[in-house]
Structure 1
């Protein structure tokens, strides 16, 4: 058991993946699940685990919401997971051996293996996915980003890559891409942090997003999965700028 480490997860309608996640972290004595208005069986699933403390609240954007969820944890060391992720046994062992001797300004960087409809994606920007997911909240926490949140680093932060992986069930149905594009583009447009571009420039930026993923990041090597990811990235770019443009210049 990784002593002194809390797992923190925010959820919304995560019933299809949450059980796998919670099964993988049963060896942790404190698992915080902070739900943001699920209408499926997410809450019922989470309530069935004795090591889970279940909370409900508003969604404030990914960064602020995760930061608040971190404040609900019992321990200072935090392993942040999404509701469709599961740490491997090798990673759990690495955490258990690393944290007792780590300083509060140390951070654990972990490789995430992204799966799409039954197979891992090796390219398309998904293949070399190293993320800071283990940190001490006395020195670090999430930033204020509405989407694509990350851990704020300082001059004294020290990164350590840990063995093992986080297994990410990223996509089980293609409709998830459409839902994510719509939700994330709205959050980015509402953040007020995007620059305004003419429609023609937005179109060119979307084309570049496709080419960057499919060509520069070798998405073509992932077959149809790489094509879908490339088109999805292009759509995400297009819609976030267009939604902001319409919102600010109706």
Structure 2
């Protein structure tokens, strides 16, 4: 008797990704189901997805990355999940490795992917990203997103993990304003996470951690070898850290104000 083919659901969350989502969808067309959760895009992303014959698109309000990805995971029909970002592309070599991997008879529950970061259409070789890896392929029955983080979400895996050889291509930098907006958004969400963990704002830590972020990525992680684009990426990454502390300070001030307003 022929063994039944393993089926894969690809999941993506989107907001205003037109110009990138098309390449992403094309690169994952080999899967059995594509589900996209869109947080009410205004640039034509939703309309494009709605008209695509292979895509099931659902709109859901964005609360944070963990909540949105957890919601997306519930929509999947298959156990094998391929979770990609809207600005990521699965090259043919990685596609073949994925298809071979899910058919392998083993107990591995999740696989790490290394990523090739792209600055527009140029490769970023350093700038802190050279060892970046994320879970992208896993069994739904063996994994869930941790509710302890709302940004840079963490997958909790019940079982062993593996690593794929081929890299996922990540078009992280579209233009200056887009990347800056992304880093500031991450910083604000991280501040909320810190606030609920009762971490306190500290001026010294703000200056030290912001400076360290730039120094570590630009000098120790060799960002300077990426030239001008390396400086830009490292500067904006550090800006995200600064925004986290500024937002945390604002949250503490609002909390203190609310406390005094409700005092008898």
Q: TM-score range by the shorter chain?
A: over 0.9
Q: What is the count of residue pairs matched by the alignment?
A: 247
Query: Are 1:248 and 2:252 an aligned pair?
Result: yes
Structure 2 counterparts to residues 33-72 of structure 1, below 5 A: 33-72=36-75
Q: Which residue of 1 aligns with 2:258?
A: none
Q: Which of 98-107 and 198-207 deviates more?
A: 98-107
Report the CA distance shift for 1:29/1:51 in structure 2 as closer, same or farther (over 3 A): farther
Pick the structure with greater CA Rg. Answer: 2
Aligned match of 1:167 = 169
Tell me which residue corresponds to 1:219.
Answer: 223
Does residue 125 of structure 1 match 2:97? no
Greater Cα offset, 181-190 or 238-247? 181-190
Structure 1 CA distance, aligned partners of 2:94 and 2:191? 36
Distance 1:102 1:186 in 2: 43
> Within 2, Cα distance between the matches of 1:82 and 1:169?
10
Q: Is the 8 A contact 1:112 1:129 kept in 2?
A: yes
Unaligned runs of 5+ residues in structure 1 are none
Deviation at 1:100, TM superposition (A): 2.2
The separation in 1 between residues aligned to 2:238 and 2:107, in whole angstroms, is 39
Q: Does 1:152 align with 2:165?
A: no
**Could you say what secondary structure the match of 1:141 adopts?**
strand
Greater shift, 7-16 or 222-231, is seen at 222-231
Deviation at 1:188, TM superposition (A): 1.5
Q: Distance in 2 between matches of 1:223 and 1:11?
A: 30
Instruction: Give the root-mean-square deviation of aligned CA atoms.
Output: 1.7
State the 1:227 CA deviation.
Answer: 0.9
The alpha-carbon deviation at position 153 of structure 1 amounts to 2.9
Q: Are 2:12 and 2:84, in contact at CA under 8 Å, matched by a contact in 1?
A: yes
Q: Are 2:205 and 1:201 equivalent residues in the alignment?
A: yes
Counterpart Cα distance in 2 of 1:170 and 1:223? 17
Residues 107-160 of structure 1 show CA distances to partners (whole Å, capped at 9, x for unaligned) of 111121110022111111112222211000101122222111121134xx2222
For residues 112 and 202 of structure 2, the distance between their equivalents in structure 1, rounded to whole angstroms, comes to 39
TM-score by length of 1: 0.93
* CA displacement, residues 13-64 of structure 1 (integer Å, 9 cap, x when unaligned): 1112000001111121200000011111101211232221110111121112
**TM-score calculated relative to the size of structure 2:** 0.88
Q: Secondary structure at the match of 1:26?
A: coil
In the alignment, the residues of structure 2 paired with residue 47 and residue 149 of structure 1 have an alpha-carbon distance, to the nearest angstrom, of: 27
Tell me, yes or no, if structure 1 residue 96 matches structure 2 residue 113.
Answer: no
**3-state SS in 2 of match to 1:16:** coil
Whole-Å separation in 1 of the counterparts to 2:192 and 2:201? 15
What displacement does 1:173 show?
0.6
Equivalent position SS for 1:32:
strand
